[in-house]
A and B are shown apart, each in its own frame.
Chain A
């Protein structure tokens, strides 16, 4: 490994994050490895530099949160709120992710190679999320913009109260949430899906997916919806 190793056990979460924040703009030290994460929270949060960070083990809550520009890989499992509110860059987890992965994300790419739990992509605002496995219930709740790609199955109430995010699911959907419907897969969607799968490095046939999105009956004011 040609990069720099940061021992989280010795430095603590604040120490590790501070070392990454302290990099001057344009630094040549772009490869970083964080050892001994031991499931601690807020590892590699708030990064704002085009660096590559590998978390060597399982991470706790909020790993990679608010990320801008950085390319973060977690070699293991990620806890609640993985890459929440990500702005740009890439976050990848090689194992499974707990609930609320990619929550409120505004941009960038989140790749979960295993399964994501409930509320994946809740309130997403432009982030692209690609899940190699399945996702849990209430995923893409109030999802506003961006794409959620699921190579496995989706749990109950997918896309409840969804706005304009676009959902692609290859497997079964346990149930759709309010105002979420299946939509026609047009060529531009197949192209976008192929591009997302390629970026994520996941080998799947776009033609096997179905598209889901908003019926647009809930978020426009309609007097018949009033009680």
Chain B
């Protein structure tokens, strides 16, 4: 099972309502994935010289305490932190690698969930509505969002094992399906220095994409390579800084439907997640073809 959803608002007038439009999409997919839920929102793009990190930890009371001032004095930089539940959005002008090293040494319990200039990733175990409420999804504004409701089949129900998984700066992945060659691929990627937090198959797909993108390949090249190297069933939705991409495996037995109007583009595991969007009743609706990469927004 699992449910995935994506919404890209072409009409900028709708962007203040992104969360209000997107939250029902996620919640509608609850019975496909009641174990945990997560979503990535693209909003509040920071300056070129800054990086935005989404951080999460199991002990927010202690871990967030004085993180901004400690990091500012250690790295001689500016830091702002906004706490949302057990996640925090940290914006800094410090070198991104330096931030990661500092966190590893000084706040080892903190996980980096995502990073970039606009992406914010929130995920948690529990019902999608509860997860959405915890992170104020309904009030979110932004250009686009992708999300996932999880019915775990191959690894533990944990926050770290929830989707989306970050695959690089402003990039993340949600997945409906299961991969069969993830153990071997994980070992290969670990030898290349990719670090994994879970036993999850999707995290391996994300790590694979991270590795390819880090080598300088474009997202399209990366997805084309993934088609050859990832074995299993998948409908992927990939969030990028300026849009999203959708790809299904060649057999395409994991459901997917797409809809488009002049105002928005949406994808979902089932159409009922799209039905409430304005103009959905007259939208162009179709099922994405297997083994084909679909992109919206500016994706290279």
B-contact bits for A86-102, CB 8 A (1 contact / 0 none): 00000000011011000
List the interface of chain A (C-beta within 8 A of B). 38-41, 57-58, 60-61, 76-77, 79-80, 95-96, 98-99, 115, 117-118, 136-137
- Provide 21 A-B residue pairs closer than 8 Å at the C-beta atoms, listed in order of the A residue: A38-B272, A38-B275, A38-B276, A57-B275, A58-B275, A58-B280, A58-B281, A58-B285, A76-B281, A76-B285, A77-B257, A77-B285, A79-B257, A80-B255, A95-B285, A98-B257, A99-B253, A99-B255, A99-B287, A117-B287, A136-B252
Residues on B with beta carbons closer than 8 Å to the beta carbon of A76: 281, 285
Taking CB atoms and an 8 Å cut-off, the chain B residues in 226-267 that contact chain A are 252-253, 255, 257
Whether the Cβ atoms of A39 and B281 lie closer than 8 Å is: no
CB distance from B47 to the nearest CB of A (A): 41
Q: 16 other contacts beyond A77-B286, A99-B255, with CB at 8 A cut-off?
A: A38-B272, A39-B271, A58-B275, A60-B270, A60-B272, A77-B271, A79-B257, A79-B270, A80-B255, A96-B286, A96-B287, A117-B287, A118-B252, A136-B252, A137-B252, A137-B290
CB distance from A139 to the nearest CB of B (A): 12
B171 at the interface (CB under 8 A from A): no
Q: Give the docked Cα–Cα distance between A98 and B252 (Å).
A: 11
Q: Give the docked Cα–Cα distance between A195 and B137 (Å).
A: 54
Q: Give the docked Cα–Cα distance between A39 and B276 (Å).
A: 10
B173 at the interface (CB under 8 A from A): no
Residues on B with beta carbons closer than 8 Å to the beta carbon of A58: 271, 275, 280-281, 285
List the interface of chain B (C-beta within 8 A of A). 252-253, 255, 257, 270-276, 280-281, 285-287, 289-290
Residues on B with beta carbons closer than 8 Å to the beta carbon of A77: 257, 271, 285-286
Q: Give the docked Cα–Cα distance between A117 and B256 (Å).
A: 11
Q: Which of the listed residues A39, A40, A99 has the most CB atoms from chain B within 10 Å of its own CB?
A: A39
Residues on B with beta carbons closer than 8 Å to the beta carbon of A41: 272
Nearest 7 pairs of A and B residues by beta carbon: A39-B272, A39-B271, A38-B275, A77-B285, A117-B287, A39-B275, A98-B287
Q: Give the docked Cα–Cα distance between A58 and B271 (Å).
A: 8
Residues on A with beta carbons closer than 8 Å to the beta carbon of B272: 38-41, 60
Residues on B with beta carbons closer than 8 Å to the beta carbon of A117: 287
Residue in contact with A98 in the complex, picked from B255, B273, B274, B280, CB distance below 8 Å? B255
Q: Give the docked Cα–Cα distance between A41 and B275 (Å).
A: 13
Q: Give the docked Cα–Cα distance between A57 and B285 (Å).
A: 12
CB distance from B136 to the nearest CB of A (A): 26
CB distance from A74 to the nearest CB of B (A): 12
Residues on A with beta carbons closer than 8 Å to the beta carbon of B276: 38
CB distance from A101 to the nearest CB of B (A): 11
Whether the Cβ atoms of A96 and B285 lie closer than 8 Å is: yes
CB distance from A146 to the nearest CB of B (A): 23
Residues on A with beta carbons closer than 8 Å to the beta carbon of B289: 136
Q: Give the docked Cα–Cα distance between A41 and B276 (Å).
A: 15
Q: Give the docked Cα–Cα distance between A117 and B271 (Å).
A: 14
Whether the Cβ atoms of A61 and B270 lie closer than 8 Å is: yes
By beta carbon, the residue of chain B nearest A77 is B285
Q: Give the docked Cα–Cα distance between A58 and B285 (Å).
A: 9
Q: Give the docked Cα–Cα distance between A75 and B287 (Å).
A: 17
By beta carbon, the residue of chain A nearest B282 is A76
Residues on B with beta carbons closer than 8 Å to the beta carbon of A115: 286
Whether the Cβ atoms of A118 and B290 lie closer than 8 Å is: yes
A39-B290 contact in complex given A57-B281, A95-B285, C-beta closer than 8 Å: no
Whether the Cβ atoms of A60 and B252 lie closer than 8 Å is: no
A60-B271 contact in complex given A79-B257, A98-B255, A99-B255, C-beta closer than 8 Å: yes
Q: Give the docked Cα–Cα distance between A99 and B289 (Å).
A: 10
Residues on B with beta carbons closer than 8 Å to the beta carbon of A98: 255, 257, 287
